[in-house]
Structure 1
Amino acid sequence: MINFNYESDFTLDNEEAIATWLSAVIVSENKSEGEINYIFCDDEYLHKINVEYLDHDTLTDVISFDYTMGNEISGDVFVSVERVLDNSKDYKTSFDEELKRVLVHGVLHYCGYKDKSEADEILMRSKEEEKLTMFHVEQ
Protein backbone atom coordinates (compact mmCIF):
# COMPACT_ATOMS: atom_id res chain seq x y z
CA MET A 1 0.00 0.00 0.00
CA ILE A 2 1.30 3.41 -0.96
CA ASN A 3 0.31 6.26 1.37
CA PHE A 4 0.78 9.99 0.99
CA ASN A 5 1.17 12.20 4.07
CA TYR A 6 1.60 15.94 4.26
CA GLU A 7 3.64 17.97 6.76
CA SER A 8 3.45 21.12 4.62
CA ASP A 9 0.89 23.06 2.59
CA PHE A 10 1.66 20.95 -0.48
CA THR A 11 -0.69 18.19 -1.64
CA LEU A 12 -0.54 15.92 -4.68
CA ASP A 13 -3.45 16.44 -7.04
CA ASN A 14 -3.05 13.02 -8.68
CA GLU A 15 -2.45 10.62 -5.77
CA GLU A 16 -4.20 7.69 -7.44
CA ALA A 17 -2.21 7.98 -10.69
CA ILE A 18 1.07 8.31 -8.79
CA ALA A 19 0.29 5.32 -6.56
CA THR A 20 -0.70 3.19 -9.57
CA TRP A 21 2.54 4.11 -11.34
CA LEU A 22 4.73 3.40 -8.31
CA SER A 23 3.00 0.03 -7.86
CA ALA A 24 3.77 -0.78 -11.51
CA VAL A 25 7.41 0.20 -10.95
CA ILE A 26 7.62 -2.23 -8.03
CA VAL A 27 6.14 -5.06 -10.12
CA SER A 28 8.51 -4.23 -13.00
CA GLU A 29 11.43 -4.89 -10.62
CA ASN A 30 9.96 -8.29 -9.61
CA LYS A 31 9.24 -7.08 -6.09
CA SER A 32 6.05 -7.07 -4.06
CA GLU A 33 4.54 -4.01 -2.47
CA GLY A 34 4.49 -3.67 1.27
CA GLU A 35 3.71 -0.37 2.95
CA ILE A 36 5.39 2.71 1.53
CA ASN A 37 4.73 6.06 3.14
CA TYR A 38 5.60 9.29 1.39
CA ILE A 39 5.85 12.27 3.71
CA PHE A 40 5.90 15.65 1.97
CA CYS A 41 7.53 18.37 4.05
CA ASP A 42 9.64 21.53 3.90
CA ASP A 43 13.41 22.00 4.15
CA GLU A 44 13.37 22.64 7.89
CA TYR A 45 11.46 19.43 8.64
CA LEU A 46 13.74 17.29 6.47
CA HIS A 47 16.90 18.99 7.71
CA LYS A 48 15.99 18.00 11.29
CA ILE A 49 15.61 14.37 10.19
CA ASN A 50 18.89 14.53 8.28
CA VAL A 51 20.76 15.81 11.36
CA GLU A 52 19.02 13.59 13.92
CA TYR A 53 19.02 10.26 12.10
CA LEU A 54 21.82 10.50 9.54
CA ASP A 55 24.16 13.01 11.23
CA HIS A 56 24.23 15.11 8.03
CA ASP A 57 23.93 18.87 8.52
CA THR A 58 22.79 19.58 4.96
CA LEU A 59 19.63 20.21 3.00
CA THR A 60 18.42 17.39 0.79
CA ASP A 61 15.45 16.64 -1.42
CA VAL A 62 14.73 13.11 -0.23
CA ILE A 63 15.55 10.76 2.61
CA SER A 64 14.32 7.20 2.62
CA PHE A 65 14.17 4.71 5.47
CA ASP A 66 14.10 1.18 4.12
CA TYR A 67 12.04 -1.47 5.97
CA THR A 68 12.14 -4.00 3.13
CA MET A 69 11.97 -7.63 4.17
CA GLY A 70 12.90 -10.15 1.51
CA ASN A 71 11.08 -9.39 -1.72
CA GLU A 72 8.43 -7.15 -0.10
CA ILE A 73 9.52 -3.54 -0.22
CA SER A 74 8.45 -1.12 2.49
CA GLY A 75 9.69 2.17 3.83
CA ASP A 76 9.21 5.83 4.60
CA VAL A 77 10.22 8.40 1.99
CA PHE A 78 10.52 12.00 3.20
CA VAL A 79 10.42 14.60 0.43
CA SER A 80 11.27 18.29 0.80
CA VAL A 81 8.94 20.05 -1.61
CA GLU A 82 11.13 23.17 -1.36
CA ARG A 83 14.24 21.24 -2.51
CA VAL A 84 12.32 19.58 -5.35
CA LEU A 85 11.16 23.00 -6.56
CA ASP A 86 14.68 24.44 -6.39
CA ASN A 87 16.13 21.37 -8.11
CA SER A 88 13.56 21.57 -10.91
CA LYS A 89 14.80 25.10 -11.62
CA ASP A 90 18.47 24.07 -11.38
CA TYR A 91 17.95 21.09 -13.72
CA LYS A 92 15.63 23.04 -16.02
CA THR A 93 12.76 20.60 -15.74
CA SER A 94 9.20 20.89 -14.53
CA PHE A 95 8.37 20.58 -10.85
CA ASP A 96 6.08 17.64 -11.70
CA GLU A 97 8.86 15.76 -13.51
CA GLU A 98 11.39 16.37 -10.74
CA LEU A 99 8.87 15.30 -8.10
CA LYS A 100 8.19 12.02 -9.91
CA ARG A 101 11.95 11.44 -10.18
CA VAL A 102 12.33 11.85 -6.41
CA LEU A 103 9.32 9.60 -5.70
CA VAL A 104 10.63 6.77 -7.89
CA HIS A 105 14.17 7.27 -6.54
CA GLY A 106 13.02 6.12 -3.10
CA VAL A 107 11.34 3.02 -4.51
CA LEU A 108 14.45 2.19 -6.55
CA HIS A 109 16.56 2.31 -3.38
CA TYR A 110 14.18 -0.23 -1.83
CA CYS A 111 14.61 -2.40 -4.92
CA GLY A 112 18.34 -2.51 -4.23
CA TYR A 113 19.74 0.30 -6.39
CA LYS A 114 22.39 2.52 -4.83
CA ASP A 115 23.85 5.90 -5.74
CA LYS A 116 27.02 6.28 -3.69
CA SER A 117 29.58 5.41 -6.40
CA GLU A 118 29.72 6.93 -9.87
CA ALA A 119 28.79 3.61 -11.50
CA ASP A 120 25.87 3.13 -9.11
CA GLU A 121 24.67 6.68 -9.76
CA ILE A 122 24.74 6.12 -13.53
CA LEU A 123 22.64 2.97 -13.14
CA MET A 124 20.23 4.76 -10.76
CA ARG A 125 19.73 7.64 -13.24
CA SER A 126 19.11 5.13 -16.03
CA LYS A 127 16.52 3.31 -13.91
CA GLU A 128 14.85 6.62 -13.01
CA GLU A 129 14.52 7.49 -16.71
CA GLU A 130 13.15 4.03 -17.51
CA LYS A 131 10.56 4.24 -14.73
CA LEU A 132 9.55 7.83 -15.56
CA THR A 133 8.70 6.63 -19.05
CA MET A 134 6.32 4.09 -17.50
CA PHE A 135 4.26 6.92 -15.98
CA HIS A 136 3.67 8.55 -19.36
CA VAL A 137 2.66 5.25 -20.95
CA GLU A 138 0.05 4.51 -18.27
CA GLN A 139 -1.70 7.88 -18.45
Structure 2
Amino acid sequence: MNLYMENETEREFHFSAEDTARLVCEAVLEAEGCPYEAQVNVLLTDDRGIREMNREYRGIDRETDVLSFPNVDFEEKGVFDIGEDSEADYFDPETGELVLGDIMISVDRVYGQAQEYGHSVRREFAFLVAHSMLHLCGYDHMEEEERARMERRQEEILTGLGITRD
Protein backbone atom coordinates (compact mmCIF):
# COMPACT_ATOMS: atom_id res chain seq x y z
CA MET A 1 0.00 0.00 0.00
CA ASN A 2 1.14 3.53 -0.65
CA LEU A 3 0.56 6.06 2.10
CA TYR A 4 1.22 9.70 1.40
CA MET A 5 1.46 11.76 4.58
CA GLU A 6 1.94 15.46 5.10
CA ASN A 7 2.17 17.34 8.39
CA GLU A 8 1.28 21.00 7.98
CA THR A 9 1.65 21.69 11.71
CA GLU A 10 4.63 22.49 13.91
CA ARG A 11 3.70 19.64 16.26
CA GLU A 12 5.39 16.27 16.13
CA PHE A 13 4.49 12.95 17.70
CA HIS A 14 6.83 10.90 19.89
CA PHE A 15 6.21 7.94 17.57
CA SER A 16 6.33 7.59 13.81
CA ALA A 17 2.92 8.80 12.65
CA GLU A 18 3.61 7.45 9.18
CA ASP A 19 4.54 3.97 10.41
CA THR A 20 1.51 3.85 12.72
CA ALA A 21 -0.85 5.09 10.00
CA ARG A 22 0.53 2.55 7.53
CA LEU A 23 0.18 -0.28 10.07
CA VAL A 24 -3.44 0.64 10.80
CA CYS A 25 -4.37 1.23 7.15
CA GLU A 26 -2.95 -2.15 6.14
CA ALA A 27 -4.76 -3.88 9.02
CA VAL A 28 -8.08 -2.32 8.00
CA LEU A 29 -7.59 -3.30 4.36
CA GLU A 30 -6.70 -6.86 5.39
CA ALA A 31 -9.67 -7.08 7.77
CA GLU A 32 -11.98 -5.81 5.04
CA GLY A 33 -10.55 -8.21 2.46
CA CYS A 34 -9.39 -5.56 0.02
CA PRO A 35 -8.05 -7.47 -3.01
CA TYR A 36 -6.14 -4.48 -4.43
CA GLU A 37 -3.01 -2.56 -3.68
CA ALA A 38 -4.31 0.71 -2.31
CA GLN A 39 -3.34 4.33 -1.93
CA VAL A 40 -4.34 6.67 0.92
CA ASN A 41 -3.44 10.31 1.57
CA VAL A 42 -3.16 11.57 5.16
CA LEU A 43 -2.94 15.24 6.08
CA LEU A 44 -2.09 16.24 9.63
CA THR A 45 -3.42 19.68 10.43
CA ASP A 46 -4.48 21.76 13.43
CA ASP A 47 -7.91 22.72 14.77
CA ARG A 48 -8.03 25.82 12.56
CA GLY A 49 -7.22 23.88 9.40
CA ILE A 50 -9.72 21.12 10.05
CA ARG A 51 -12.40 23.65 10.99
CA GLU A 52 -11.94 25.36 7.61
CA MET A 53 -12.28 22.04 5.79
CA ASN A 54 -15.27 21.02 7.89
CA ARG A 55 -16.98 24.32 7.07
CA GLU A 56 -16.11 24.15 3.38
CA TYR A 57 -17.00 20.52 2.70
CA ARG A 58 -19.65 19.71 5.31
CA GLY A 59 -21.13 23.12 6.10
CA ILE A 60 -20.27 22.65 9.79
CA ASP A 61 -18.39 25.61 11.27
CA ARG A 62 -16.48 23.90 14.09
CA GLU A 63 -13.41 21.79 14.75
CA THR A 64 -13.54 18.02 14.55
CA ASP A 65 -10.97 15.31 15.12
CA VAL A 66 -10.92 13.64 11.71
CA LEU A 67 -12.43 14.10 8.27
CA SER A 68 -12.65 11.39 5.64
CA PHE A 69 -12.93 12.02 1.92
CA PRO A 70 -13.71 8.68 0.23
CA ASN A 71 -12.92 8.28 -3.44
CA VAL A 72 -14.82 5.01 -3.95
CA ASP A 73 -18.61 4.81 -4.01
CA PHE A 74 -19.26 1.46 -2.32
CA GLU A 75 -22.58 -0.21 -3.00
CA GLU A 76 -22.02 -2.32 0.13
CA LYS A 77 -19.71 -1.55 3.06
CA GLY A 78 -16.30 -3.14 2.61
CA VAL A 79 -17.22 -4.98 -0.58
CA PHE A 80 -14.54 -4.16 -3.13
CA ASP A 81 -16.57 -5.20 -6.16
CA ILE A 82 -15.46 -2.54 -8.63
CA GLY A 83 -16.79 -2.94 -12.14
CA GLU A 84 -14.71 -2.30 -15.23
CA ASP A 85 -16.77 0.78 -16.04
CA SER A 86 -15.59 2.41 -12.76
CA GLU A 87 -11.91 1.48 -12.90
CA ALA A 88 -10.86 4.80 -14.46
CA ASP A 89 -12.50 6.66 -11.57
CA TYR A 90 -10.96 4.63 -8.77
CA PHE A 91 -7.52 3.42 -9.86
CA ASP A 92 -4.32 5.39 -10.30
CA PRO A 93 -3.38 4.88 -13.97
CA GLU A 94 0.35 5.06 -13.18
CA THR A 95 0.49 2.62 -10.27
CA GLY A 96 -2.68 0.58 -10.75
CA GLU A 97 -3.51 1.16 -7.08
CA LEU A 98 -7.01 1.67 -5.79
CA VAL A 99 -7.19 5.31 -4.64
CA LEU A 100 -9.29 5.00 -1.49
CA GLY A 101 -9.29 8.68 -0.57
CA ASP A 102 -8.02 11.26 1.88
CA ILE A 103 -7.84 11.44 5.66
CA MET A 104 -7.44 14.72 7.52
CA ILE A 105 -6.55 14.58 11.23
CA SER A 106 -6.34 17.42 13.74
CA VAL A 107 -3.13 16.94 15.71
CA ASP A 108 -4.56 19.28 18.36
CA ARG A 109 -7.50 16.92 18.81
CA VAL A 110 -5.26 13.83 18.91
CA TYR A 111 -3.40 15.26 21.91
CA GLY A 112 -6.53 16.65 23.59
CA GLN A 113 -8.63 13.51 23.21
CA ALA A 114 -5.80 11.23 24.33
CA GLN A 115 -5.64 13.20 27.57
CA GLU A 116 -9.43 13.36 27.89
CA TYR A 117 -9.87 9.60 27.39
CA GLY A 118 -6.80 8.67 29.45
CA HIS A 119 -4.89 6.71 26.85
CA SER A 120 -1.77 7.26 24.79
CA VAL A 121 -1.43 9.76 21.98
CA ARG A 122 -0.48 6.88 19.66
CA ARG A 123 -3.69 5.03 20.59
CA GLU A 124 -5.80 8.09 19.81
CA PHE A 125 -4.00 8.66 16.51
CA ALA A 126 -4.39 4.99 15.52
CA PHE A 127 -8.08 5.08 16.48
CA LEU A 128 -8.71 8.09 14.24
CA VAL A 129 -6.87 6.45 11.34
CA ALA A 130 -8.88 3.22 11.77
CA HIS A 131 -12.13 5.19 12.01
CA SER A 132 -11.37 7.16 8.88
CA MET A 133 -10.17 4.10 6.95
CA LEU A 134 -13.48 2.39 7.64
CA HIS A 135 -15.20 5.45 6.18
CA LEU A 136 -12.96 5.13 3.11
CA CYS A 137 -14.14 1.50 2.87
CA GLY A 138 -17.79 2.54 2.77
CA TYR A 139 -18.77 2.48 6.45
CA ASP A 140 -20.80 5.20 8.12
CA HIS A 141 -22.34 5.81 11.53
CA MET A 142 -25.54 7.68 10.81
CA GLU A 143 -27.72 4.93 12.30
CA GLU A 144 -27.17 3.32 15.72
CA GLU A 145 -26.63 -0.14 14.24
CA GLU A 146 -24.03 1.21 11.79
CA ARG A 147 -22.27 3.10 14.59
CA ALA A 148 -22.07 -0.03 16.75
CA ARG A 149 -20.75 -2.14 13.87
CA MET A 150 -18.13 0.47 13.00
CA GLU A 151 -17.01 0.74 16.64
CA ARG A 152 -16.67 -3.07 16.87
CA ARG A 153 -14.56 -3.15 13.71
CA GLN A 154 -12.29 -0.35 15.00
CA GLU A 155 -11.74 -2.11 18.33
CA GLU A 156 -11.12 -5.49 16.69
CA ILE A 157 -8.51 -4.02 14.37
CA LEU A 158 -6.69 -2.01 17.04
CA THR A 159 -6.77 -4.86 19.56
CA GLY A 160 -5.35 -7.15 16.88
CA LEU A 161 -2.47 -4.71 16.48
CA GLY A 162 -1.94 -4.47 20.24
CA ILE A 163 -2.88 -0.78 20.23
CA THR A 164 -5.19 -0.73 23.23
CA ARG A 165 -6.53 1.86 25.64
CA ASP A 166 -4.06 0.76 28.33
Following superposition, the deviation at residue 109 of structure 1 comes to: 1.0
Size of the aligned set, in residue pairs, is 137
Find 1:112's aligned residue among 138, 148, 152.
138
In structure 1, distance between residues paired with 2:23 and 2:111: 23
Query: Match of 2:57?
Result: 53
Task: Pick one of 127, 130, 133 that aligns with 2:156.
Answer: 130
8 Å contact from structure 2 (residues 38, 100) kept in 1: yes
Asked if 1:65 corresponds to 2:65, the answer is no
Query: Which residue of 33, 39, 45 corresponds with 2:43?
Result: 39
| Deviation of 1:20 (Å) | 3.4
Q: 1:8-23 maps to which residues of 2 (within 5 A)?
A: 8-11=9-12, 13-14=15-16, 15-23=18-26
Q: Do 1:73 and 1:111's aligned partners in 2 also have CA atoms closer than 8 Å?
A: no
Contact 2:100 2:137 in 1 (8 A): no
Aligned to 2:118, what secondary structure does the other structure show? coil
**SS at 1:4 equivalent:** strand
1:33/1:74 contact within 8 Å kept? no
Identity score, percent: 28
Q: Which has the higher helix share?
A: 1
Amino acid at match of 1:48: E
Aligned partner of residue 41 in structure 2, secondary structure: strand
| Deviation, structure 1 residue 112 | 2.1
1:98 to 2:124 alignment: yes
5+ unaligned residues in a row in structure 1: which ranges? none
CA drift at 1:34: 2.4
TM-score by length of 1: 0.87
Task: Provide closer, same or farther for how the CA distance between residues 54 and 17 of structure 1 changes in structure 2, counting only shifts above 3 A.
Answer: closer
What is the Cα deviation at residue 8 of structure 1? 0.5
Q: Report the CA distance between 1:16 and its aligned residue.
A: 3.1
CA contact 1:65–1:77 (8 Å) conserved in 2: yes
Q: Return the letter of the residue paired with 1:64.
A: S
Q: Which has the higher contact order (CA 8 A, sep 6+)?
A: 2
Q: 1:40 to 1:69 in 2, by over 3 A?
A: same
RMSD of aligned residue pairs (Cα, Å): 1.9
Residue by residue, what CA displacement relative to the aligned partner does 1:82-114 show, whole Å, maximum 9, x if unpaired? 112111122222111111000111111122221
Residue 18 (structure 1) shift: 3.5
- Partner amino acid, structure 2, of 1:60: T
| Higher Cα Rg, which structure | 2
TM-aligned CA distance change 1:114 to 1:23, over 3 Å = same
Structure 2: gaps (5+ residues): 75-79, 81-97
